[in-house]
Amino acid sequence: MGKAKLEKALQAKINSKENIFVPYIMAGDGGLEILEEQIDFLQKSGASAIEIGIPFSDPVADGPIIQEAGIRALKNGTTLANVLEVLKDSNERRSIPIVVMTYLNPVFVYGIERFAKDCVEAGVDGVIIPDLPMEEESIIAPSLSNHEVAYIRLAAMTSPQERIRELAKRSEGFLYAVAVNGTTGERTAHDKKVTSYLENLKKQSNVPVLAGFGVSSTQQAKNLGAHCDGVIVGSKIVQLLHEDRLKEIRSLIEGSILSEITN
């Protein structure tokens, strides 16, 4: 389970010549009572894994759409504790890997060792903490490792080569390649430098490399997926879920996982 489950599931997609597709959703946007239903829908639609965001009052990586979803979720009383409780209750009824994206402060307040232990009980396979730099990750990474939960690192296009090498060496689950210089949100196009950046990461990483930030269409997913192992799509999924446009989500996932260029 945990890290091994996540890595095995993603490798199976690569072996079958599919692009990996990881949708991001904001827990509690629309109410926590629909979280299990959302997970089930995305699993049946062909998602490789699901990234679940924990709403936070002071996000640094989130663009307007995800910030607004976080505000709605906070107004619904969503917390890290009750998200993990919902995931724990539904753990036996799902098979898709789950990755939690949160910030350091909620984890610190919750208790780092307690968080790692409760992630296991909730069936959380990986954790992303975007405001925790590599130099400070010893705060939490050992606890997650002891419980076999993947600590997923993020790489930026502005990162020096030495740092990228170290991030790639430490990576677990998958390496999150931030494909824009900025926050999350839809983009009409990505910087031309992103191609060589993704290919460089892929050469150095022992785990799948997934491109995130600014991916909002099937064509963008295919274009980026041709140079790494797949994509993470957040703002577009969050918006479509909020507007109950489920057919469009299914089409986006189905169209994105069929790679035109096999890796």
What's the rounded Cα separation, in Å, for the pair 108 and 106?
5
**Could you say which of 7, 18, 29, 62 is catalytic?**
62
Cα–Cα distance measured from residue 8 to residue 20, given in angstroms and rounded to the nearest whole number: 12
Residue 178: partners with Cβ closer than 8 Å, 6 or more residues away = 154, 155, 156, 157, 212, 213
Could you give the angle at the alpha carbon of 142 between the alpha carbons of 208 and 200, nearest 5°?
Answer: 25
Please name every residue paired with 23 in a beta bridge, in sequence order, or none if there are none. Answer: 233
Q: Which residues contact 237 (CB under 8 A, 6 or more apart)?
A: 23, 24, 25, 249, 252
Name the active-site residue from 7, 18, 51, 186: 51
Active site annotation includes 37: no
CA distance 176 to 152: 7
Tokens of 7: 């890595």
Q: In the 8-state DSSP scheme, what is residue 54?
A: P
62 flagged as catalytic = yes
Catalytic residues: 51, 62
